Amino acid sequence: MEIEVDVFVDASELTCPLPLLKAKQALNKLESGQVVHLVCTDSGSVKDFNVFCTQSGHHLLDAKSNDISYEYWLKKA
């Protein structure tokens, strides 16, 4: 599944809570339905982004990880 991305955010090397803060800042600049693709290296981001989307109403379209990074696709509610 290919996701059309409106904004890319590289939050690599940033630790909690900065990846989430960067995502929030990007989402605030978008219109409803637009998508942020965020890449980070903070393992704590997995829980952070799941909780954030549940509480904020934004949609976590996809999440992927490998040995060194985590990627998230967030759709603004």
Query: Which residues are known to be catalytic?
Result: 16
Neighbour tally for 52: CB within 10 Å: 19
Q: How far is CA 27 from the centre of its chain?
A: 9
Helix (H, G, I), strand (E, B) or coil at 70: strand
